[in-house]
Structure 1
Amino acid sequence: MTVVDDEIPAVANLDHDLLGALRQAATDAADDGVEIFVDSGWRSPEYQEQLLREALAKYGSQEEAARWVATPDTSAHVSGHAIDIGPSDATAWLSKHGAEYGLCQIYSNEPWHYELRPEAVDHGCPPMYADPTHDPRMQP
């Protein structure tokens, strides 16, 4: 799905400020010949729960699954505050330029996952967490 398609719920239900930063970044990336696609944006709690069940089946434990998929109660995707982008040239572009828009990679193990950190425009992105299990927001 493209960044600008407001008819897609995964994009239309994103936080307004996140969507604005993403649109600006996508426009500038396009000027550099890079297309940014939203692979996943807003998710319903039900879909997030399905992803968590699939991660449990794939990884075999709650601890390992938590390194990759948050619960519906803690997921920044469910609240509309996170995007997963692709392809790899887009993640590379955002890795280099994202802070200019307040778009920051949050987890070292997920180069596709970005969230809005407005203070990054002036101060750069904060240090990344190794994975979601190190993020205080993900703690019960």
Structure 2
Amino acid sequence: MRGRLGEAGGAIPPRVTVFADQFPAVANLDPELLSALRRAATDAAVDGVEFFVNSGWRSPAYQEQLLEKAISKYGSAEEAARWVATPETSAHVAGKAVDIGPAEARAWLSEHGAAYGLCQIYRNEPWHYELRPEAILTGCPPMFADPSHDPRMW
């Protein structure tokens, strides 16, 4: 969903790589997260795997739009919270989360991401990655079932 707020709010067209600084969804990511993503993407390319950013940084207004759509789709704020955070709690709004595709890229990150500090955070969102620098030494932490189980969302 590109959304009525457009690319300036964080919407992104298909097949945008982690190197596409012309898009705010990429350029406004936390610099350490972006650096780790770019290192991983460069190494994955050697294996013939390309990373695309399906969603990255989002403005609070765009996050609110996504939340409203999720409430409409799932029927309640409680059920929507399993999939979409509020603008106040969203790691995307803070530039600290990225949704990666396609499936081959997610599989590559699932196997190799911890070496870059890139971890899947939610079991129900295999596309959602955040930076956990400690994972380089200790591996990724256990995943939450979904965002509604993440204490950062409370």
With the shorter chain as reference, the TM-score category is over 0.9
Q: TM-score, normalised by structure 1?
A: 0.99
How many residues were matched structurally?
139
Shift of 1:70: 0.1
Partner of 1:36: 51
Q: Which residues of structure 2 form unaligned runs of 5+?
A: 1-15
Partner of 1:102: 117
**RMSD over aligned Cα, in angstroms?**
0.4
Distance in 1 between the 2:53 and 2:43 partners? 16
Distance in 2 between the 1:33 and 1:24 partners? 15
Q: TM-score, normalised by structure 2?
A: 0.90
Q: Which residues of structure 1 form unaligned runs of 5+?
A: none
User: Superposed, which structure 2 residues align to 1:43-62 within 5 Å?
Assistant: 43-62=58-77
Distance in 2 between the 1:42 and 1:20 partners? 14
Percent identity between the two aligned chains: 76
Q: Pick from 8, 18, 28 the counterpart of residue 3 of structure 1.
A: 18
Partner of 1:130: 145
Shift of 1:62: 0.9
Matched, 1:116 2:146: no
Amino acid at match of 1:100: A
Partner of 1:73: 88
Question: Alpha-carbon deviations, 1:56-103, whole Å to 9, x = none?
Answer: 000001111000000000000000000000000000100000000000
Q: Pick from 90, 102, 114 the counterpart of residue 87 of structure 1.
A: 102
